[in-house]
Structure 1
Amino acid sequence: MPSEHKPLIDPFGRAISYLRVSVTDRCDLRCVYCMQENMVFLPRDELLTFEELERLGRIFIRLGTKKLRITGGEPLVRRDVMRLIDTLGQELGANGLAELTLTTNGSQLTRHAAGLAAAGVRRINVSLDTLDADRFRAVTRGGRLQQTLDGLEAARAAGLRVKINTVALRDVNEDEFDDLIAWCGRQGFDLCLIETMPLGETGEDRVNQYLPLSLVRARLQHRWTLARDDTPGLEGVAPGPARYWRVAETGQRIGFITPLTEHFCDSCNRVRLTCTGTLFLCLGQDDQADLRTPLRDGATDVEMEAIIRAAVARKPKAHDFIIDREQPTTKIARHMSMTGG
């Protein structure tokens, strides 16, 4: 790698090799832990164009990004988003990008799964918090479970590997984790349980929602044989936030993302670019850099690289998420759909 494109290193020696790019704050669901029921979405002219997203993606790849994840909101509801995914897919391999992937709620996969595979996407994360249709409708405020299940079948038919992301919600889906493990085993999917995070006001009580995954894992070990699985990820890309166990009875993996009970900040290798061009250096802090303004003011690629390097040089050591009765208000005002899931 040329010296002028030396890797992005933050103040704590962590190489930044993973970029999550939100392409829209819009979503066709209204999950109770993610957003309010009646959301006001951004004006479309505030969103980065596909050309701007493509340019920033290429700059980050030159700066050492090995993994690029497309997120939202629900990324597949943005019109013509496959054009962006096709273009970024051309960066795979020789140009340095090792993986292009996507997080989705699955509602649009029947239309787009084959196109994702053709663009070079090999695996996706699909958000699914329950296998009960009525409960799904309540958690998503109106969603249809069968639409997501049909999308998952389309993903399988397209040859995409699937990981199911499930937010653990006290008194909502905590009685389903055994069923989800068994179902994922039959489907050939990995499962990842996630602690709810205090991002944005959703109209719900965060304290009542919060379920520590340390407790969940202890419960699961009474029924399932779990063995730590530290299989390395992509070459040159540090492990993500999940800690994985292999489930002996199914052969699949279960991961735990624990930002509150056991944070994973020491190995953080990622930054997030919002659909408006704001670069967030930490999901749980407000450290940010505006990339849209210089981009639209005519900054060269060299100037944009300098702005990105200066931002990464301010990346904080860790988040400070907390959910408790003494601090019931949400510290981070922005919704997950705005930052990019």
Structure 2
Amino acid sequence: MIEFPSAFAKPRPALTDGFCRRISYLRVSVTDRCDFRCTYCMSERVRFLPRKDVLSLEELDRLCSVFVALGVTKLRVTGGEPLVRRDILQFFRAMSRHLDSGALGELTLTTNGSQLARHAAELAACGVRRVNVSLDTLDAARFEGLTRRGRLAPVLEGIGAARAAGLRVKINTVALKGFTEDELFPLVEWCGAEGHDLTFIEIMPFGEDGPEGRIDRFWPLTDLRARLARRFTLQPLAQSTGGPARYVRLAETGQKIGLITPLSHNFCEGCNRVRLTCTGELYPCLGQDGTSDLRAVLRATADDRALEQAIRAAIARKPRGHDFDHSCGTADGAMRRGMNHTGG
């Protein structure tokens, strides 16, 4: 059985960047591997990282525990697909101690749902209360084409298992021109019937295959929202979950719909999050290439104070915002790295 180290005995002053934004949300990738090859996320011929470059579960625990000690109250586990990592439930069990102590307010994950059926009950036992499931279509053939190798049935089974375990499910759908347009109302109706919240996300310019090619698939959520408004009465909500989504309620059904608009309307002014990759790189901004190597510090010393100093220095360099822009028909601000590398 793995034994995990404890964090600091006392909490440290909160993490604040150079623009007075308090950083309280960490998205941590536990693997770059995935059992899907979604066309908007990664190359079909992706090369995965050598095992030696990936942080161990003990190392991930130590790093995340330092972040919690520095005031991070929300921890989202991502990938790749986090549930394909061997023994990943040991990491969730370790993080649950921070929920028990009250230092961590929320432990959650984003998943493609393929492995959710066999893990949902134990995730709930570890203190996970809600999960985000990426799902772009309810048509089995289209699902296989988009994911290149996934099957819809196990994902729907996983969503059902999550609900049975008491987990709240939010569906994340990427807005794809010529694709999600056909799926818009079927997804809304299905989520309403099943009791799932639904969030649409603009496609972001990431990927080794050439993010410029994604311009043809970019569907601004201003248009998606307008289509919703032709069928439903939209009631803007002031609610925030600490993330980038803006919410509306459909008056006729009572459903909550989230809209994440990194391109048509960025959300950088209130950004409270940073991303930690499975190799220990800290990205203060998803849309910028500036990183800090925390793995080197982690493996060089057992002193958590050195990690604290490295984290604070990285947060101090967090930029004001990203440069994503498709408004002129070019992929300005595009990133060559894949989302499976950065973490979803």
TM-score normalised according to structure 1 size = 0.95
Structure 2 Cα separation of the partners of residues 61 and 38 of structure 1: 36
Q: Which residue of 1 aligns with 2:42?
A: 35
Q: Secondary structure at the match of 1:337?
A: helix
- Given that residues 323 and 333 in structure 2 are in contact (C-alpha distance below 8 angstroms), is that contact kept between their aligned partners in structure 1? no
Question: Cα–Cα, structure 1 residues 194 and 228, in superposed 2: closer, same or farther, change >3 Å?
Answer: same
Structure 1, residues 50-69: CA drift from partner, whole Å, max 9, x if none? Answer: 00000011100010001000
Q: Which residue of 2 aligns with 1:96?
A: 103
Structure 2 Cα separation of the partners of residues 212 and 324 of structure 1: 10
Gaps of 5+ in 1: 234-238
- Given that residues 126 and 164 in structure 1 are in contact (C-alpha distance below 8 angstroms), is that contact kept between their aligned partners in structure 2? yes
Structure 1, residues 281-300: CA drift from partner, whole Å, max 9, x if none? Answer: 00000111000011111151
- Given that residues 284 and 318 in structure 2 are in contact (C-alpha distance below 8 angstroms), is that contact kept between their aligned partners in structure 1? yes
- Given that residues 206 and 335 in structure 2 are in contact (C-alpha distance below 8 angstroms), is that contact kept between their aligned partners in structure 1? yes
Q: Which residue of 1 aligns with 2:4?
A: none
Is 2:301 the counterpart of 1:298? yes
How many Å apart are 1:331 and its aligned residue? Answer: 2.8
Structure 2 Cα separation of the partners of residues 258 and 46 of structure 1: 33
How many Å apart are 1:327 and its aligned residue? Answer: 3.3
How many Å apart are 1:89 and its aligned residue? Answer: 1.2
- Given that residues 207 and 324 in structure 1 are in contact (C-alpha distance below 8 angstroms), is that contact kept between their aligned partners in structure 2? no
How many Å apart are 1:324 and its aligned residue? Answer: 6.1
Q: Which residue of 2 aligns with 1:21?
A: 28
Q: Which residue of 2 aligns with 1:106?
A: 113
Is 2:173 the counterpart of 1:170? no
Q: Which residue of 1 aligns with 2:198?
A: 191
Q: How does 1:94-243 map to 2 (within 5 A)?
A: 94-202=101-209, 205-233=213-241, 239-243=242-246
- Equivalent of 1:63 in 70, 79, 83: 70
How many Å apart are 1:326 and its aligned residue? Answer: 5.6
- Given that residues 186 and 250 in structure 1 are in contact (C-alpha distance below 8 angstroms), is that contact kept between their aligned partners in structure 2? no
- Given that residues 322 and 333 in structure 2 are in contact (C-alpha distance below 8 angstroms), is that contact kept between their aligned partners in structure 1? no
Structure 1, residues 288-319: CA drift from partner, whole Å, max 9, x if none? Answer: 10000111111511111011001100000000
- Given that residues 11 and 69 in structure 2 are in contact (C-alpha distance below 8 angstroms), is that contact kept between their aligned partners in structure 1? no
Q: Secondary structure at the match of 1:5?
A: coil
Structure 2 Cα separation of the partners of residues 288 and 196 of structure 1: 22
Structure 2 Cα separation of the partners of residues 158 and 4 of structure 1: 33
How many Å apart are 1:143 and its aligned residue? Answer: 1.1
Structure 1 Cα separation of the partners of residues 333 and 312 of structure 2: 30
- The runs of 4+ residues in structure 1 deviating greater than 4 Å are 1-4
Root-mean-square deviation (CA, aligned residues, Å) is 1.7
Could you tell me which amino acid in structure 2 is paired with residue 128 of structure 1?
Answer: L
Q: Secondary structure at the match of 2:99?
A: coil
Structure 1, residues 123-161: CA drift from partner, whole Å, max 9, x if none? Answer: 000000001111111111121111110110000110000
Gaps of 5+ in 2: 1-7
Range with bigger deviation, 13-22 or 295-304:
295-304
TM-score normalised according to structure 2 size = 0.94
State, as a whole percentage, how many aligned pairs show the same letter. Answer: 57
Structure 1, residues 85-135: CA drift from partner, whole Å, max 9, x if none? Answer: 111011114241000000000000111000100000000000000011111
How many Å apart are 1:231 and its aligned residue? Answer: 2.7
Tell me how many residue pairs correspond in the alignment. Answer: 336
Q: Which residue of 2 aligns with 1:271?
A: 274
Structure 2 Cα separation of the partners of residues 328 and 98 of structure 1: 37
How many Å apart are 1:249 and its aligned residue? Answer: 2.4
How many Å apart are 1:323 and its aligned residue? Answer: 3.0
